[in-house]
Amino acid sequence: MPRFACLLLLTVVLVMAAQGSSPRAASPQTPAVTFNKDVLPILQKNCQLCHRPGEVAPMSFLTYESTRPWAKAIKEATVSKKMPPWFADSRYGDFRNDPRLNEQEIKTLAAWADNGALEGDVKDKPAAVAWAEGWRIQPDVVISMPEAHKVPAKGSGEIESYLVPNPFKEDTWVNSIEIRPGSPSVVHHAMLQVPEETPGPSFSWGGVSGATCLPSGTASFMESPVAISQPNQGGQPTVKPPKNFAILEAVYVPGSPVTDFQFDGSAKMIRGGGNLRIEVHYTPNGKAVSDQTRIGFSLAKTAPTRRFVTLAPKSLANVRRKIPAGSENYETRGELEFGQDAQLVWLMPHMHLRGKDMTFNLVFPNGNSETVLRADFNFNWQLGYEFDAPIRVRKGTRMVVVAHHDNSINNRFNPDPTRDVSWGNQTSEEMVLPWFGVIVDKNADPERILAVRQGGCSVAATVLPNIPSVAPRLPIPVPSLPKGK
């Protein structure tokens, strides 16, 4: 690059830095876009989490050499918004883990691909990011399944459960937990739980069984204790059935990111002593492999003031009704009510191959309502959404969840559009599981966070407020443009 161009660039950068604005698009007058100066910083910030050796993406974007062959593909994937993966409707909610590029960044990547994908000057290159090898977090403590589990090439899948010694002797606050399958191709889900001293009725992710289905009308409103296990209190049962909620410490599903439990002074408390339970659901994928799933914990460095609790109602679906073959937009709705003040910080829709979308609406005690997330669902990318700022929910606030399944031929993931689909654990069955995270005062009684109304069971349409499934309830004056960063 000629010297005057460097000086000019320097001046431009300084002026822009002084104004706090971002660089302009490369135009014929501006210096060429290069990998070291313009592209690598974007890849570090938004792509390398997955695009590096040992991670989910098939190619690495750590170096110029490994990225250069993908220049055109990078342009296409980012212009089309296929990458980075993100499915939230940008009209609702602001999420701190939103990985999307802004228009300027997309233009920079396109200009790089269109102008010879140059490497540029080595002195423009930012320092490499110090990724912990084999992890997305920086784990302080790692546990693993006691032995590798052999998954056959064929079969309908199996759920394995392991008790492992708790690495924490005392109650311990953690900032994040990463579940890391050894062979992701056969792991349908994995989760970590603190086992209860007195197990509640067996928990099924599939749906509410007929026996626990609630009567209709207001009687269907039930205070449901949240089965957080507490240290053993003199042999007294600490879990009160019926149990409509599942609590867990961490969950892994395909494509899921790691949840950061730090919001407004919060962390997650892992009870000390005893065992931890690791559950892994294996689904054979045509090749015999073995898997040994590991779990890493990153410890809180300062004492938290609030506690992050991960919850899900058993299911919102009515197990007595199957999803009819061919139906394109099968709707399920359900409603939860907060039994104490809390702050909503995280949402994660979970369904199976026919899942289409899930919407979360909050109805506040004063009657106002707000859509806080509307996300398309993709089985291969089951994302969790972390709010930019915690949403304060007073006691009495209701969370109305509306989900849709597409059991038609238009759904390219649908293994069999000619079949009525029932509810259950298997990938070929369906689920509606709105996982969510709240933070509560460190000393609050977590057992009373929520009550539940299960839509499917309790003549939903008449009991629930009439919230449109797709259209926003409130006209929210934000255009449907993707949000800039």
Nearer to ligand HEC, 46 or 327 (CB): 46
Contact call for residue 47 and ligand HEC (CB under 6 A): yes
Scanning 31-39, 54-62, 153-161, 401-409 for contacts with ligand HEC by CB under 6 A, the matching segment is 54-62
- HEC sequence for 122-166: HHHCCCCCCCCCCCCCCCCEEEECCCCEEECCCCCCEEEEEEEEC
Smallest gap from Cβ 279 to ligand HEC, in A, equals 23
Among positions 34, 60, 78, 193, the unique one binding ligand HEC when judged by CB under 6 A = 78
Q: What 3-state DSSP class applies to 223?
A: strand
Nearer to ligand HEC, 46 or 220 (CB): 46
Residue 85 CB, nearest distance to ligand HEC (Å)?
5
Between CA 117 and CA 133 the distance in angstroms is 28
**Minimum CB distance to ligand HEC, residue 380 (Å):** 7
What is the pairing mode between strands 275-282 and 187-193? antiparallel
Q: Does 56 bind ligand HEC (CB under 6 A)?
A: yes
> Quick check: 46 binds ligand HEC (CB under 6 A)?
yes
**Nearer to ligand HEC among residue 74 and residue 319 (C-beta):** 74
**Which of the ranges 25-33, 77-85, 89-97, 202-210 carries the binding residues for ligand HEC, by CB under 6 A?**
77-85
The CA distance from 59 to 262, in Å, is 31
Report the nearest approach of ligand HEC to the CB of residue 81 (Å): 10
| Candidates 73-81, 137-145, 193-201, 302-310; binding stretch for ligand HEC (CB under 6 A) | 73-81
Query: Cα–Cα distances in Å, from 196 out to 227, 237, 247, 252, 255?
Result: 8, 9, 10, 21, 29
Yes or no: say if 331 and 443 are a contact pair by the CB < 8 Å rule: no
CB of 57 to ligand HEC, least distance (A): 4
Q: Determine if 137 is a binding residue for ligand HEC (CB under 6 A).
A: no
Query: CA-based angle 261:264:270, to the nearest 5?
Result: 35
| Residue 180 contacts ligand HEC per CB under 6 A | no
3-state secondary structure of 175: strand
Tell me whether residue 83 or residue 451 sits nearer to ligand HEC (CB atom).
83
Q: Does 70 bind ligand HEC (CB under 6 A)?
A: yes
* Whole-angstrom distance, CA of residue 401 vs CA of residue 374: 10
Q: How far is the CB of 55 from ligand HEC (least distance, A)?
A: 7
Q: Is 299 helix (H, G, I), strand (E, B) or coil?
A: strand
Whether the bond between 465 and the residue before it is cis, its omega within 30 degrees of 0, is no
Ranges within 83-122 binding ligand HEC (CB under 6 A): 83-85, 99, 101
Q: How many residues bind ligand HEC (CB under 6 A)?
A: 18
Q: 374 exposed, middle or buried (CB, 10 Å; 0-12, 13-18, 19+)?
A: buried
Beta carbon nearer to ligand HEC, 76 or 370: 76
- Count CB neighbours of 396 within 10 A: 14
Of 32-40, 50-58, 222-230, 307-315, the segment contacting ligand HEC by CB under 6 A is 50-58
319 secondary structure, DSSP code? T
Q: Which residue's CB is nearer to ligand HEC, number 216 or number 380?
A: 380
Residue with tokens 């109305």: 400
Residue 482 is a binding residue for ligand HEC (CB under 6 A): no
Indicate whether 58 belongs to the interface with ligand HEC (CB under 6 A): yes
CA atoms within 13 A on the CB side of 111: 21
Binding site for ligand HEC (CB under 6 A): 46-47, 49-51, 56-58, 70, 73-74, 77-78, 83-85, 99, 101
